[in-house]
Amino acid sequence: MRLRIILGTLALLIAACDAASEPESATTAYSRVPATATTAPDTTPIPNSVAGGLYDVSELFKQARSGVVSVTQERVRLDLFGVPNEVPAGAGTGIVVNNSGLVLTNFHVIEGATNVIVTGIDGRQREAEVVAEASSRDLALLQLLDIEGLEPLPLGSSDALEVGDPVIAIGNALGLDSSDPTVSAGIVSAKGRTIRTPLGTMQDLIQTDAAINPGNSGGPLLNALGQVIGVNTAIAGNAQNIGFAISIDTARRFVERFEAGVGEPFLGVQLVDNSAAAAERYELSTDKGALVIDVVAASPAATAGLERWDVIVAIDGVAIDNSESAVLAILDTVPGVKIQLDVSRGDRRVSLDVVVGERPRGT
């Protein structure tokens, strides 16, 4: 499927093409700032009358507007005379997630930026600092010092979603008006989707038919109670009404780890699904599990003795069926803890103890 990352400018769309699988994502933390903890997930059941479609989109939009901001990035470019100038390079959206001015957005919205500007519903421009990134999961955090007029949005639970539940998407579509976001309505079309984007493989996504356009990147996908249940991130470029959002349960872990002062877990391996063809080619004793196709030198995985063409079949005693289940299991750990990998190596089984690391800055 040809996918498009939905960073928008007035005249430019960034087209995506298939990318190779990437190592597990992790956070690069540039600085730590005091932050009020994000709210715990609200798993309040949605009333049948609401879930059936009898909900007021205009009222939900009014309630959410103060927690949705536009995010504009600038990059330094040389003019004809070689003089560096900061010029607008794209526009996206952000979600205010706490009372300390922490804003959640997509990594591709701020990638390569030398300056980031955030605009609220009052039209005032605020400078923002990028304080954390998770490039492989397309997430980033911005810190605002000026939070007057901004209110955090309540975070729901994407796990509590059901296919067919109504949702609305809000964002700075096409960069039309940074202080007046666009709203669209639809339903949850599917859950647990895995797609490939220029940033790598993304997992556990929500699929929706709510209209998502360039500029919506980083904006909220809300349920019928006005809770954030997803972060809009990508659209299918060769189809209609197929958009994807990062589940808020995934995004919340990213935020909470930053607030706790730690990055995301990192092993330093590149994984793909094992298969019957791979098992035959590399003389493996199983066609299940996550096949290791690369090990980063001096990484936790390399230190523990993991090798190329090893197959991870279990992590801490839990069976691993494919690369997705391996990545999700790793992301559920924290840097500094020791995990046990059960590995199939040729016709042998070995167990390796790995101390989970934190992804190095800038990688």
Domain CATH for 296: 2.30.42.10
Question: Any residues with CB less than 8 A from the CB of 145 and at least 6 apart, and which?
Answer: 101, 126, 127
| Res. 19: pLDDT tops 90 | no
| Of residues 15 and 290, more confidently modeled | 290
Q: Which range marks the domain in which residue 347 is found?
A: 265-356
- Domain membership flag for residue 138: yes
CA 155 to CA 63: how far, in whole Å?
14
CA 73 to CA 54: how far, in whole Å?
38
Residue at which a domain ends, from 217, 232, 259: 259
What local confidence, expressed as pLDDT, does residue 36 receive? 46
| Res. 38: pLDDT tops 80 | no
DSSP structure string for 157-197: -GGG--TT-EEEEEE-GGGS-TTS-EEEEEEEEEEEEEEEE
231 in the same domain as 342: no
**pLDDT tens digits for range 283-313:** 899 999 999 999 999 999 999 999 999 999 9
- Domain membership flag for residue 341: yes
Pair 242, 7: CB distance under 8 Å? no
- Domain membership flag for residue 229: yes
Give φ, ψ of 259 to 5 degrees: -65, -30
Q: How does DSSP classify residue 155? A: B
Pair 153, 96: CB distance under 8 Å? yes
- Domain membership flag for residue 124: yes
Residue at which a domain ends, from 231, 259, 287: 259
225 in the same domain as 86: yes
Residue at which a domain ends, from 243, 259, 275: 259
Give φ, ψ of 78 to 5 degrees: -85, 135
Integer-rounded Cα radius of gyration of the chain: 21
271 in the same domain as 158: no
246 in the same domain as 276: no
- Domain membership flag for residue 361: no
**pLDDT tens digits for range 164-189:** 999 999 998 876 766 678 899 999 99
CA 331 to CA 12: how far, in whole Å?
34
CA 206 to CA 228: how far, in whole Å?
12
CA 117 to CA 89: how far, in whole Å?
11
Give the catalytic positions in this structure: 108, 138, 217
192 in the same domain as 155: yes
- Domain membership flag for residue 32: yes
- Domain membership flag for residue 363: no
Burial class of residue 69 in the structure, from the number of CB atoms within 10 Å of its CB (0-12 exposed, 13-18 middle, 19+ buried): buried
170 in the same domain as 224: yes
Count Cβ atoms below 10 Å from residue 155 Cβ, excluding itself: 24
| Of residues 240 and 220, more confidently modeled | 220
Pair 90, 64: CB distance under 8 Å? no
Residue 189 belongs to domain with CATH number: 2.40.10.120
287 in the same domain as 247: no
In DSSP terms, which residues pair with 77 in a beta bridge? 85
Question: Any residues with CB less than 8 A from the CB of 215 and at least 6 apart, and which?
Answer: 6, 7, 8, 91, 92, 93, 171, 172, 173, 174, 175, 176
The number of domains in the chain is 2
